[in-house]
Structure 1
Amino acid sequence: MGKIVIAHGYGMGAGDHWYSAVGEEFAAEGHEVRIPNFPEPFAPEADVWLKELEEEAASGPGGVPAGETVLVGHSLGGVNVLRLLQRHDTEAEGAFAGVVFVASMSGEVGYEALAPFFTPEFDWRKIRRAAREFRVVHAADDAVTGEKTGEHVLRCVRELGAQARVTASGGHCPGSGGIRLELPDAVRLIREVLSSSGWVSADGVADVVDADEVGGSADAGG
């Protein structure tokens, strides 16, 4: 079976929102699931978060290899995943099975405290080689990415060859001050990646949209 690593976002923890429900669903099917708690979620240090994620994603002796591991990043957790992929030794360890970005950012969003997460600039070519599949789910009314939601999504589509699903509503999964205990869209996209790797049936996986549709949906919601 595969391994799924879920990277939480700013101000959150492993037990918050939809992380546990998604993890439990796949754990019940026999997959190894890791949901690390990154230190100081309200004052995150980019290098500390990256080190923690690398430790959770690492195969280790007798562990699940990268080629059987799916990385899921929510919000700032998605940026953490990008940074991991940029440092990943693909030649030595192989590409990850796939990546699912949930309401993530592909560039800065105006928070000075988070600037270290975007330094150095992303090497998109190297990142793309570090995983076989890329999926994105994002809401058009996401207040964090705001009017640039379309840009963030399309950058992943163009630079990573990602397949994206943009919903009309859903906020930042959840929205400001909200709680969201389930996220079926994330489950479906994870299943797409697992299906591509032959670990689950393709039944019930999500439809995806092409770059033109992503741009139209996201821009309309900004």
Structure 2
Amino acid sequence: MNTIILAHAVETGPESLWYPYLRAALDGRAEVRIPALPDPGAPDPEAWLTALTAAGRDTDPGDTVLVGHSLGGVTLLRLLERHDTDRHGPYAGAVLVATPYKEVGYEALNPFFAPRFDWARIRRAARAFQVLIAADDPVLTPDPFDHARHYVTELGATATVRAAGGHFPIWSPDDIPTGLALPEVTPLVTGLLPAASS
């Protein structure tokens, strides 16, 4: 069976936001893994990357789709950057949801963006990339479209833009929603699954 590995956003966890919705939507089509990335309120880049890497250590990259939300997507990019594509082959695909490609004004998170990404290496590490953003996302500054364009240019990604949706969604540490639906993500993921199992 194919595998989906989802990297959650800062301050959240596997049962937050729309993550359980995606797991349920893909039931029977893929095994969905949502690792609890350590210390989500004060994340460390290497600790997150180590946990995300461990979640997929026993999977075949060619049968695996990676999904990243916000800072989870940034961590996913680092995983792809370090992936040995020559030895293990590329991942089936990657879906980036509300994922910034550069610093967006949160100083504590700046270490996730240093050093600069090796975009050519990342592009080789997955067969295809999908990006989902909202035009009104207040996190993807100064312009959400700039972030989408960057992924299209550097990774050959296909971008889907919603008129509204914020950061899918907007939340605070004291009020993290659960039970949300984000149906746009499901076809982006299933479209990347290997044909024999989709």
Give the TM-score range, shorter chain.
Answer: over 0.9
Could you tell me which runs of 5 or more consecutive residues in structure 2 were left unpaired when the two chains were aligned.
none
| Residue in structure 2 matching 1:165, options 151, 160, 164 | 160
Q: Identity of aligned pairs, percent? A: 46
Relative contact order (C-alpha < 8 Å, sep 6+): which is higher?
A: 2
Partner of 1:7: 7
Contact 1:58 1:66 in 2 (8 A): no
| Residue in structure 2 matching 1:81, options 51, 76, 80 | 76
1:88-146 C-alpha deviation (Å, 9 max, x unpaired): 01111110000001111111111111111011110000000000010001000001113
Q: TM-score, normalised by structure 1?
A: 0.84
Could you tell me which runs of 5 or more consecutive residues in structure 1 were left unpaired when the two chains were aligned.
201-222
| Residue in structure 1 matching 2:91, options 82, 96, 102 | 96
- The answer to whether structure 1 residue 125 and structure 2 residue 120 are counterparts is yes
Structure 2 counterparts to residues 25-36 of structure 1, below 5 A:
25-26=25-26, 28-36=27-35
RMSD: 1.3
Residue correspondences, number: 194
**Following the alignment from structure 1 to structure 2, what is the Cα–Cα distance between the partners of residues 167 and 147?**
17
More helix, by proportion: 1
Contact 2:45 2:111 in 1 (8 A): yes
Partner of 2:105: 110
| Residue in structure 1 matching 2:141, options 146, 167, 171 | 146
Q: Would you identify which runs of 4 or more consecutive aligned residues in structure 1 move more than 3 Å?
A: 176-180
- The answer to whether structure 1 residue 49 and structure 2 residue 48 are counterparts is yes
**Following the alignment from structure 1 to structure 2, what is the Cα–Cα distance between the partners of residues 118 and 175?**
21
- The answer to whether structure 1 residue 137 and structure 2 residue 132 are counterparts is yes
1:156-203 C-alpha deviation (Å, 9 max, x unpaired): 000000001000000000124573611111111001112x54422xxx
Partner of 1:16: 16
Partner of 1:203: none
